[in-house]
Structure 1
């Protein structure tokens, strides 16, 4: 919005020329989202406390978590609001990518909100039934893909793999089910990881920063040609969205760090996971996003392996408890140590992902 309003006035006031630069708008999108989170955080937390929107802790989980019972949840509402305001202010509203991303963050956020609402206010411990939630995610993913394919280019259905400069496969119509599985899977992966104070939030920040770099490089002819990655006109604007997401998440982490004053709930985790997946699809970095978000992949894999082991091996488990972070807790690691070590691992995955841009 600010670009549309102020950049045309550059002939009267030359400093407004700065609004054409993505780096400037991306930086201030992050700052804006961060400040909005700081301002909204205490008000939303107080509002949630008055509504008695408290977290219900699983009885079969680590005993240390019982003290968290009653901690306000649905804090993802102010993450989403911070992203929305920042993006509307700083991103180019004429760019179709802007509206695809807004649809993603709001759509998955609403789905998560309904799930949280049923758990918190209707006292339904399971929230949305798994089948209903899954169908909702698929329908929303298909709607997002409809708009992505309408804006499609020569790269849309191609599949790129790190270390290969050329696409390995054109999925053609098969790209639709592939992309749906990717979006739904990534959304649920972040949701599974959101089990400890600050864990998912910190990892989302690292993935978001890496995605911002991918977006900026993909939107530049010179850098994309030098790195031999697809040049995607207009994709540089996605860097603005990614930094807004990072800024909002940092602001939320201020209140979500151990001991957490608020949990993001499915409102936040489904929204952030789905949004990151859509960014990966638009930037043709689907496989690379699995590397950058390696901790999310490990957490999801631990749940799948645990279920398979339990069903196929007569009730035997691989881990003390899944997802993986609970296994480490039950092995005697303090919560803060699990979180910090997972963050270190997440940072390592992000560095590896960024390094692949030059190793092709």
Structure 2
């Protein structure tokens, strides 16, 4: 919005020329989302406490230390979504199709998460929406986003799958691009959701991934940098750096209140929405496989659940003391802050490996 209002005045006021630069507007989005979060989160937390009473239901079979978290409100992801969307609408070029697609995925997945959180609170259990219904909703929204990209952005979004470390390899998926894109968005959304089990555990890796994909979106959208790095150029993706900046800013504000001991939980409202957004950005920038590296922590958490469930069904035995993986280490006696910080370190290392794919080709 500010881009459309102020940049046309650049001829009369040279200062407004700054709005032509994606980097400036990304910085503005970070600052705006941070301020919104820091200012309004306390009010939201008080409101959530007044409405939720006993707060988020705690799993009875979880680590014993989690029982002391009873009464902590959930749905903090509402403020993340609000901050991200307001900041993006203020600072991004709203004629950009990619911005609207990512906003659609963020809002759609967030509404599914909100429904899930609401049922958990009203029914006072940890089940929420039926898994099949939740998955169907995610597939429907992801499918709509993928079809929009496939139909309306055919000139800018290749139906190919780029392979990390390979500069020329592009696997032509044809219309299989749609189910592949849906798989990435739904998978990323649920992977972040599974990781969100300890205070501060999910939001920092999300901010790391958002920072990385903000850089990737900017480079992919700039033909000079794309040619220099020998990555596939997708015109228009640079505006997604603004969205990624908003995610980082909103994440910083949320972390302030989610740091141990958490004053508020993200809930499915936040984890499903920001996970889906990361998946959508990776699809648009043609870095779907790089997301699996940068977001490798989310992948590890998801794989631990799959392995645990499969092993128990086939053999009746569990591989881990408890899944997802972070609970396994808690059961082994690691303190919660130790698990969180060590997982953050893993996320940083994986992000550096993922970013190395931009040059090592």
Aligned to 2:263: 261
Aligned to 1:147: 148
CA distance in 1 between counterparts of 2:75 and 2:169 reads 40
CA distance in 1 between counterparts of 2:125 and 2:198 reads 22
CA offset at residue 122 of structure 1? 3.6
Q: Secondary structure at the match of 2:6?
A: helix
Contact 1:155/1:230 (<8 A) preserved? no
1:170-225 deviations in Å (ceiling 9; x for gaps): 01111111111111111100000000000000110100000001011011111100
CA distance in 2 between counterparts of 1:278 and 1:107 reads 12
Aligned to 1:33: 33
Aligned to 1:276: 278
Aligned to 1:12: 12
CA offset at residue 126 of structure 1? 1.0
CA distance in 1 between counterparts of 2:2 and 2:48 reads 32
Contact 2:147/2:178 (<8 A) preserved? no
Q: TM-score, normalised by structure 2?
A: 0.98
- Change in Cα spacing, 1:316 to 1:272, as seen in structure 2 (3 Å) is same
Contact 2:214/2:245 (<8 A) preserved? yes
Aligned to 1:322: 323
- Measured on the aligned residues, the alpha-carbon RMSD in Å equals 1.0
Aligned to 2:86: 85
CA offset at residue 52 of structure 1? 2.0
Aligned to 1:45: 45
CA distance in 2 between counterparts of 1:16 and 1:265 reads 39
Aligned to 1:110: 111
How many residue pairs end up in the alignment? Answer: 359
CA distance in 2 between counterparts of 1:37 and 1:281 reads 28
CA distance in 2 between counterparts of 1:38 and 1:8 reads 32
1:289-334 deviations in Å (ceiling 9; x for gaps): 0000000000000000001110111x11100000000000001100
Contact 2:257/2:263 (<8 A) preserved? yes
5+ long unaligned stretches in structure 1? none
1:137-186 deviations in Å (ceiling 9; x for gaps): 11111111121112123642101111101234101111111111111111
CA distance in 2 between counterparts of 1:161 and 1:319 reads 32
5+ long unaligned stretches in structure 2? none
Q: Which one of the candidate residues 150, 156, 175 is aligned to 1:173? A: 175
CA distance in 1 between counterparts of 2:71 and 2:334 reads 24
